[in-house]
Amino acid sequence: MEKYDLVVIGAGPSGYAAAMRSLDFKKRTLLVEKNRVGGAGVTNGALSSKTWWELSREASTFRRNLNRYNIQAPTVNYDEMRREVQRAVQERKGLLEEQMQQLRTQSLPLLDYRAGTARLITPHEVEIDHNGSKECVQADYVILATGSRPRYLPELPIDEKIVMTSDGIEEMKDFPESMVIVGAGVIGCEYATIFSGFGKTKINLIDKGDRILPFEDEDVVKIIERNMENNGVLIHRNSRLVTMRIINGRVEYELEYTDGSRQIFNVEKALVSVGRIPNLENLFNDNVGIQISKRGIENNDTQTNVSNIYAVGDLTADISLVNVGELEGRYAVERIFGKPERKLVYENISTIMFLSPEVAGVGLNETQAREKGMDYKMVTLEYSTIPRAIAKRNTQGFIKLLVTNDDRMKILGMKVVGNHASSAIQAVAVLISMDKGIEELAECVHPHPSITEGIQECVRMLMGKSTLKPTALKGRLSCRRFVGGKYEDIQF
């Protein structure tokens, strides 16, 4: 029986990151994957859907600017779009596989790889099944990183052809003429943005509340909803899905609204986007004793109740994001073989929603700050005041920065809505992780023109020394505090 310092089960973002970090400690490591290297983060999740988003954004931008070129709108070739997505997936997957191959052929190789289904027999024994051929290996430590899959609702006729999840949508053969999306969270809204952006599909979006993205601030949602509706998306607000059936190869669904009225709709396809569930089935024998809850494997700082077994990524009840999974995978290895320089924290995790426009954030938003009962200072700056946004001829969006309501003005969070949103938040993410105030941002020399100049101007407004004055440009700039449940303007 072969023996390893570490066995990592699952080669998605968190498992792959864990295996690579283990090599830094010169530990003999086995990585096991039953499907595809890269997991859903590459093959049918983050990378593929964001490639679709980029292609959709290009198509939408081109259609909006046809007058510049004096041409009619060209047709969108679905097959070519799909091939481009597949090329992107293969490019990333090939890179990960190439690295593994090179590491395994080096002198004194530390990395082994097995294609197959792994199962913990005991806390230190892992059985690997490859097409019926089984082997057992020993491990000092084990990291579980088997990821998640789309949640199925048993009352819906999900066949991954007509009624689909994000898994099935990758196998479509053409743009549907119409589609209903069940679930108005991030993934549902991203797919609504993608398909409406191509201009080939009429999208209906079911939302049980009075607005999409209920965890987001109202000013963010307002822009996203307006753009969706301008792109032809019908948002079924305050609605409940009563029934969904496949009839003659199409989808018929009935909604009940909060006023008691009902309505029946007929579309070509349906996408069900109601969250994901961890891949826990047959992962370990009962005698291993790992504690699980409804949300996933219970853990303390990535370590399960079984001391030599760790769980990372979508298997746990933490944030289900690729960057978080990678962070947890690396951190678990550092806990096992070293001593992390700092405790694993989630307050400075950067997020991005691929909508129209894109939305990036770090730290707390206003909704979360209010739920915590916090008072805060807040500054907002519209993109119309930023030279780079003006030059790009797209001034839709804003920057919003939250700080503590005291003289230190420690950064609580930031939200950026608009072009280049994701590239604008990293400096603030670093300052949050360092528990710093805003002074460090005030005097940085930013490249010109750039979106990050808007962040600098936000900081200067809070410090009372901005170039643009909120008292003169009301509606485009604001500097306020939220105290006792009320806003008040900050006077300098």
pLDDT at 178: 98
pLDDT at 441: 74
449: cis peptide before it, omega within 30°?
yes
CATH architecture of 3-149+277-337: 3-Layer(bba) Sandwich (3.50)
Across the strands, what pairs with 479? 379
For residue 484 the two structure tokens come to 């006792």
For residue 362 the two structure tokens come to 């770090």
Q: What is the mean pLDDT of residues 347-351?
A: 82
pLDDT at 375: 96
Distance of CA 326 to the CA centre of its chain: 13
pLDDT at 125: 97
Question: Is there a contact between 144 and 32 (Cβ–Cβ < 8 Å)?
Answer: no
Q: What is the mean pLDDT of residues 463-479?
A: 93
Share of the chain above pLDDT 70, in %: 99
CATH architecture of 163-274: 3-Layer(bba) Sandwich (3.50)
pLDDT at 312: 96
pLDDT at 65: 85
Across the strands, what pairs with 474? 477
CB within 8 A of 83, min separation 6: which ones?
none
Residues belonging to the chain: 492
> Above 90 in pLDDT, residue 423?
no
CATH number of 357-489: 3.30.390.30
pLDDT at 261: 96
Question: Is there a contact between 88 and 51 (Cβ–Cβ < 8 Å)?
Answer: yes
> Above 80 in pLDDT, residue 445?
no
> Above 80 in pLDDT, residue 10?
yes
252 band by pLDDT with thresholds 50, 70 and 90: very high
Q: What is the mean pLDDT of residues 109-114?
A: 94
* Three-class SS of 70-136: CCCCCCCCHHHHHHHHHHHHHHHHHHHHHHHHHHHHCCCCCEEEEECEEEEEECCEEEEEECCEEEE
pLDDT at 318: 66
pLDDT at 317: 67
For residue 440 the two structure tokens come to 């460090």
Neighbours of 472 (CB within 10 A): 8
Q: Can you give the residue ranges of every domain in the chain?
A: 3-149+277-337, 163-274, 357-489
| Alpha carbon separation from 376 to 217, 221, 404 (Å, rounded) | 15, 21, 5
CB within 8 A of 373, min separation 6: which ones?
none
Question: Is there a contact between 364 and 413 (Cβ–Cβ < 8 Å)?
Answer: yes
Q: Bigger pLDDT: 64 or 27?
A: 27
> Above 90 in pLDDT, residue 367?
yes
Could you give the angle at the alpha carbon of 227 between the alpha carbons of 221 and 228, nearest 5°?
85
Question: Is there a contact between 30 and 167 (Cβ–Cβ < 8 Å)?
Answer: no
129 band by pLDDT with thresholds 50, 70 and 90: very high
CB within 8 A of 374, min separation 6: which ones?
364, 412
pLDDT at 217: 95
Question: Is there a contact between 248 and 267 (Cβ–Cβ < 8 Å)?
Answer: no
Stretch among 217-221, 225-229, 408-412 having the lowest mean pLDDT: 408-412
CATH topology agreement for domains 3-149+277-337 and 357-489: no
pLDDT at 341: 84
pLDDT at 7: 98
Stretch among 41-45, 192-196, 237-241, 300-304 having the lowest mean pLDDT: 41-45
pLDDT at 368: 94
Dist. CA 396–CA 389, nearest whole Å = 8
pLDDT at 69: 84
CB within 8 A of 415, min separation 6: which ones?
217, 220, 359, 360, 361, 365, 399, 400
Dist. CA 178–CA 201, nearest whole Å = 5
Pairing of strands 133-144, 309-311: parallel
Neighbours of 199 (CB within 10 A): 16
At which residue do the structure tokens 């209903």 appear?
A: 180
pLDDT at 429: 79
For residue 367 the two structure tokens come to 């909704």
**Greatest Cα-to-Cα distance within the chain, rounded to the nearest angstrom:** 75
Share of the chain above pLDDT 90, in %: 77
Mean pLDDT score of the chain, rounded to an integer?
92
> Above 70 in pLDDT, residue 257?
yes
| Alpha carbon separation from 292 to 8, 281, 316 (Å, rounded) | 19, 12, 9
Model confidence, pTM:
0.92
